[in-house]
Chain A
Amino acid sequence: MSRDLRTERIQQERKQWRKDHPFGFYAKPTKKSDGSLDLHNWTAGIPGKQGTIWENATYPLTISFPEDYPAKPPKIKFPPAFYHPNVYPSGTICLSILNEEQDWRPAINIKSLLLGIQELLDTPNPNSPAQEPAWKAFSKSPEEYQKKVKLQAQQYKDKV
């Protein structure tokens, strides 16, 4: 049994993030009603890249850190029914760096994970379909796909 590396690492991540994080992103522990912070559950937001159909919106995520983090990856989710070929109906993201049996390494920090997810938004992985609607549209009717994605971008539109 080893000591609680999870909390120590999460505090480390917070400090790193505070010092240096990409423009337009946010990531922070959720606040409880008494004013304290729940370090194991965070909320985050990822901006869609400019010049893509995802632009001008910030997509919300929840991050929860399992007990054996960082040996195991954090669980990162979009809201349920999020429209993207590689996002399961539950909101779980199908991405190799988030999978402990694939490319997750304890050295990967929150910043790299969120940048990886931003990248995935406009470049879906054709080899790992996770939901029917977005997957079908993406591979068979690009116009419908673009329309739906833009509709979703409206929903998460940045307030100017």
Chain B
Amino acid sequence: MAVDSYIKKMFGEKSSQFADAKVLLVGAGGIGCELLKDLIMMNIGEIHVLDLDTIDLSNLNRQFLFRHKDIKQSKSKTAIAAVEFFNYKSKLYAYHGSVLDTNLFPLSFFKQFNIIYNALDNLEARFYMNRMCLYLNIPLYESGTTGLKGQVQPIYPYLTECFSCVPKETPKTFPVCTIRSTPSKPVHCITWAKDFLFSQLFSNEDTNTQEIDASEFTNEEEAEASKKEVNELADLKKIIANEGDNEIVIKIFEKIFIADIERLLKIEELWKSREKPSFEQIKDYDHFFKDINKEYLTTCKDQSTLEEILKTFASSLLRLTDRFKNNENIEFDKDDEDTLFFVMSASNIRSLIFNIPTKNEFDVKQIAGNIIPAVATTNAIMAGFSALSSVNYFLENDNINRVVKSKMVFDSSSTDKVVNSSKLIKPNPSCSACSIVKGIITIDLSSTTLGQLRDKLIEKYNYGDDVEIMTLDSRLLYDFDLEDNLEEKLTNFINDQTVLLINDSDEKFDLIELYVLNSQNSEIILPELNIPLKKIKPSENENDENDDDDKLLVDNEENNDIKVTVSLDDDDDLVEEQPPMKKRKF
């Protein structure tokens, strides 16, 4: 059966509208390859594919449009060339470049599309595309996978939850003081062993790069103690380089696991509300250091006894010392046994001191190596749902109905089903991105004064009295104190692509955000916006210590009352369920 009639059979007469659509696919990697194929099968009129990457050997197992001969070639260009032979009708365009590059892809580039599909692998680009779609009011189909988990989220700007509405579990960086002074999880100890201890002892990089920023510590004593540690470690590095006998094991052990901890113990502030570190679990260490050698115990990967932990520490330290003395440049590598075992055993000793569970080789390798496996099947499933979900865009006539029909899809935590779906959720009223209405202002910056802009804003949006004009990075350009600035040309303050925040001095209307497009000889063109009334006045918020995420999520749940009935007959095997109200992984 020809694709045309097949699609017609599935989606009815309106499916002919697929052919009129112009869509952008951001990312031609794991999900992107799958999605490109799916969109072609839908006969989408124009598909523009954008990716900054070139093809790597490690991509070939799942990014099925690429072959060995394509290595080092552009992903987007190779992908569209690869599908050409089974492409039926779609016009394809490839762009090689970063979506964040405003020279290559200014806001006006995105304007031409009906739908944008995200198939990205990083949060920065996702947040960016989310904002662009908010400025332009374009539906965004967001998808992502990690291992066997995945999700698809259709985003209809200001009508449904956007990508920023729910806090994301970002690849964690931890506060310095947590790593250096007050670890509470295995990952804190592993990070300490890998990024601090290992690099201090064996990295050839200048130790000055590890300079401590005192402002990262809340406690000045703590910052001092930390500085001292670094200096003394530099001394130990000298010992490693010059002496290198078995004494080193004891010296280094007693410095980093006894003396440094004792120093921390003296800072009483730290332990007022925390469990103090204790030497109880490692107190017999010298017993195990009596007969150390460079051969690893056969059971050293288990890390289940103090002997396994301490002897692995001693052996890996001595082996690394030998390599260091041979002027080898040692970098941490999860596949380099000595470096992995050193980080593993050192972090476990620290864990014993801070009463944190120890981890075996497998776990440490995962955590220290930041390994998130990519799974072809998950990519294919999620890409399929993304394409399928976007069918509603074409079958319905307006965004309200599209929102009602569209579903969010995400992995299931139960064992008897693979995925769940849920209705789309209303935006989080305190979302950093979509709770502020956005639009584009076209303006000639070199001929327009700040005063003219102010007057135009007041006239267009019916502000009662006056406005405050800020930039997104919180430079205040105009308010009651800055009358002098009104005479100045806008070029003095801002550029093309600056984002302006406009606040109502009366506090009646909520903030709005305007993306500046500089256009010579243009009149001031302001977007049509529906500016909501101010929801929370900052002053009313003062007694409310709502800095914890949980509260926001609770609010969200309460507001999750989109009053619609959704027909379930099109997805019998999917159980209607609330999306997981936890930090979702992306």
Contacts A11-B503, A105-B545 given: A37-B476 contact, CB under 8 Å? yes
Q: Which residues of B from 206 to 257 have beta carbons under 8 Å from A?
A: 214-215, 218, 220
Q: Which residues of B from 430 to 444 have beta carbons under 8 Å from A?
A: 430-433, 435-436
What total of A-B pairs shows CB separation below 8 Å?
A: 95
Q: Which residues of B from 478 to 501 have beta carbons under 8 Å from A?
A: 479-482, 484-485, 488, 492-493, 501
Residue B547 interfacial (CB < 8 Å): yes
Contacts A1-B432, A36-B476 given: A107-B503 contact, CB under 8 Å? no
Q: Are A7 and B474 in contact (CB under 8 A)?
A: yes
Contacts A1-B167, A90-B214, A101-B218 given: A39-B470 contact, CB under 8 Å? yes
| Interface residues of chain B: helix, strand, loop or mixed (majority) | loop
Residue A2 interfacial (CB < 8 Å): yes
A124 CB contacts on chain B under 8 angstroms: none
Kindly specify which of A27-35, A45-53, A139-147 makes contact with the partner chain. A27-35
Chain A nearest Cβ from B61, distance in angstroms? 34
Q: Are A12 and B481 in contact (CB under 8 A)?
A: no
B433 CB contacts on chain A under 8 angstroms: 1
Q: Are B470 and A4 in contact (CB under 8 A)?
A: no
Contacts A35-B492, A92-B220 given: A11-B468 contact, CB under 8 Å? yes
A8 CB contacts on chain B under 8 angstroms: 503, 511, 538
Chain B nearest Cβ from A51, distance in angstroms? 32
Contact of A36 among B475, B503, B546 (CB under 8 A): B475
A72 to B435, CA, bound (A): 22
A48 to B475, CA, bound (A): 32
Q: Are A38 and B474 in contact (CB under 8 A)?
A: yes
Residue B552 interfacial (CB < 8 Å): yes
A101 to B485, CA, bound (A): 41
Q: Which residues of B from 535 to 550 have beta carbons under 8 Å from A?
A: 537-539, 541-547
* B interface residues (Cβ-Cβ under 8 A, vs A): 164-165, 167-168, 214-215, 218, 220, 273, 430-433, 435-436, 468, 470-471, 474-477, 479-482, 484-485, 488, 492-493, 501, 503, 511, 537-539, 541-547, 552
A32 to B482, CA, bound (A): 12
Q: Are A2 and B545 in contact (CB under 8 A)?
A: no
Chain B nearest Cβ from A156, distance in angstroms? 24
0/1 string, A1-43, CB within 8 A of B gives 1: 1111111111110100010000000000100101111111000
Chain B residue at minimum C-beta to C-beta distance from A38 = B475
Q: Are A106 and B218 in contact (CB under 8 A)?
A: no
18 further A-B pairs in the complex, CB-CB below 8 A; given A37-B476, A37-B481: A1-B165, A3-B430, A3-B431, A3-B435, A4-B432, A5-B541, A7-B474, A12-B537, A14-B481, A36-B493, A38-B474, A39-B476, A40-B474, A68-B547, A71-B547, A90-B220, A92-B220, A106-B542
Chain B nearest Cβ from A61, distance in angstroms? 17
